[in-house]
């Protein structure tokens, strides 16, 4: 479709937007799509994962720093607006952060849905990106994004639900990020070995094949060749969370471009006819006047 196109990505923490679908956001933003983002929490329960940033004063200012990092990453990716929901990061299961009264996982579900409905009715996105139920990374905040995200899409279209939250809006399609697939890491692993680069994925692939978790269905594959450098730059902007010497950057952009220049998605919902596999998230959506 041409004309006015709008995309909304719903994420749990600052940095999730740069590790899942960042190339897609950058590509669509560069094509004139309005790209907006919901960040549900401040990410304040995260550890400082970059040794360079593990210094006095950083932990105390973590919420503020992570907010700034997200703003920087979003300006790199071309995101027009960040909708902060302002919940507290719930931390990993079983940690004291789970019990904090402001934790995202403790907020009333209906209230979370209402707030997402308000954002959807304001942004009027054609396409919403969110999380499938996480497998192998059962972060309570990611589970919440999964559950409340799809519920909010349906509620936003229903004039009987949350009438105080704006004019109803029917989202055309919802996709789940299918980023961390066995197939993608296998291809990158083999490309690294063929190029004589130490692959950081050997153990991960071994573990996954032992666990036998099937890859998600891929319904859409977006070519982000020309935006891989922005994805890398956005990830690096999350200096407290992302170690520049970590496996995130083990495979150079040029090699990723040759071996696996795509970001993959599973279609979760569609109000328009679809014909997967797709190479455009807006396929089948009629242009707006
Ligand atoms: Zn997260």
Tens of pLDDT, residues 171-208: 999 999 999 999 999 999 999 999 999 999 999 999 99
pLDDT tens readout for residues 16-46: 999 999 999 999 999 999 999 999 999 998 8
C-alpha 17 – ligand 1 centre gap (Å): 9
- Say which DSSP state 82 is in: E
pLDDT tens readout for residues 222-255: 999 999 999 999 999 999 999 999 888 999 999 9
Tokens representing 173 are: 């399609």
Tokens representing 215 are: 């890859």
Tokens representing 217 are: 């269905």
Q: Is 41 exposed, middle or buried (0-12, 13-18, 19+ CB in 10 A)?
A: buried
C-alpha 113 – ligand 1 centre gap (Å): 19
C-alpha 226 – ligand 1 centre gap (Å): 25
The rounded distance, in Å, linking the Cα atoms of 207 and 255 is: 24
C-alpha 151 – ligand 1 centre gap (Å): 19
Tokens representing 247 are: 């496996």
C-alpha 16 – ligand 1 centre gap (Å): 5
Q: What is the pLDDT of residue 2?
A: 46
**Summary mean pLDDT of the chain:** 95
Tokens representing 133 are: 């139920």
pLDDT tens readout for residues 72-95: 999 999 999 999 999 999 999 889
Tokens representing 249 are: 């950057």
C-alpha 43 – ligand 1 centre gap (Å): 8
Nearest to 105 by CA among 45, 64, 57: 45
Query: Per DSSP, what are the bridge partners of residue 9?
Result: 37, 129
The rounded distance, in Å, linking the Cα atoms of 96 and 245 is: 30
pLDDT mean over 49-64? 90
Please give the helix or strand (H or E) that residue 207 lies within, else none. Answer: helix 202-211
Q: What is the pLDDT of residue 287?
A: 74
C-alpha 196 – ligand 1 centre gap (Å): 32
C-alpha 123 – ligand 1 centre gap (Å): 23
C-alpha 11 – ligand 1 centre gap (Å): 7
- Is the pLDDT assigned to residue 133 strictly greater than 80? yes
Nearest to 170 by CA among 111, 117, 113: 117
Q: What is the pTM of this model?
A: 0.96
Q: What is the pLDDT of residue 80?
A: 98
Tokens representing 271 are: 């109000």
C-alpha 289 – ligand 1 centre gap (Å): 37
The rounded distance, in Å, linking the Cα atoms of 172 and 186 is: 33
C-alpha 13 – ligand 1 centre gap (Å): 5
Domain residue extents for the chain: 6-181+217-266
C-alpha 69 – ligand 1 centre gap (Å): 14
Q: What is the pLDDT of residue 284?
A: 96
Name the band, by pLDDT with cuts 50, 70 and 90, for residue 136.
confident
Classify domain 6-181+217-266 by CATH number.
3.40.50.10320
SS3 category, 6: strand
Q: What is the pLDDT of residue 175?
A: 98
pLDDT mean over 49-74? 93
**Count of positions (residues) in the chain:** 289
User: Rg for the chain (alpha carbons), in Å?
Assistant: 19
Query: Per DSSP, what are the bridge partners of residue 6?
Result: 34
């Amino acid at each position: 479709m041409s004309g006015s196109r709008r995309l909304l990505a719903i994420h749990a923490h600052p940095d999730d937007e740069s590790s899942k679908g960042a190339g897609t956001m950058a590509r669509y933003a560069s094509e004139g799509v309005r790209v907006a983002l919901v960040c549900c929490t401040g990410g304040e329960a995260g550890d400082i994962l970059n040794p360079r940033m593990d210094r006095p004063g950083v932990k105390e200012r973590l919420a503020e720093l992570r907010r700034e990092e997200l703003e920087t990453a979003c300006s790199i990716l071309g995101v027009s607006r960040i909708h902060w929901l302002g919940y507290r990061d719930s931390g990993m299961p079983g940690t004291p952060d789970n019990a904090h009264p402001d934790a995202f996982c403790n907020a009333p579900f209906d209230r979370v849905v209402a707030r997402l409905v308000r954002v959807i009715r304001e942004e009027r996105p054609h396409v919403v990106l969110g999380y499938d139920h996480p497998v192998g990374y059962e972060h309570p905040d990611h589970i919440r994004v999964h559950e409340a995200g799809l519920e909010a899409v349906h509620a936003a279209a229903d004039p009987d639900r949350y009438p105080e939250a704006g004019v109803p809006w029917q989202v055309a399609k919802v996709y789940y990020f299918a980023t961390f697939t066995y197939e993608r890491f296998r291809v990158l692993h083999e490309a690294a070995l063929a190029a004589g680069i130490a692959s950081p994925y050997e153990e991960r692939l071994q573990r996954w094949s032992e666990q036998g978790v099937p890859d998600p269905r891929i319904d859409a594959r977006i070519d982000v060749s020309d935006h891989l450098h922005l994805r890398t730059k956005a990830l690096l902007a999350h200096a407290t969370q992302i170690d520049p010497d970590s496996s995130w950057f083990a495979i150079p952009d040029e090699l990723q471009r040759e071996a696996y220049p795509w970001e993959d998605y599973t279609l979760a919902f569609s109000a328009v006819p679809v014909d997967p596999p797709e190479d455009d998230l807006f396929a089948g959506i009629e242009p707006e006047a």
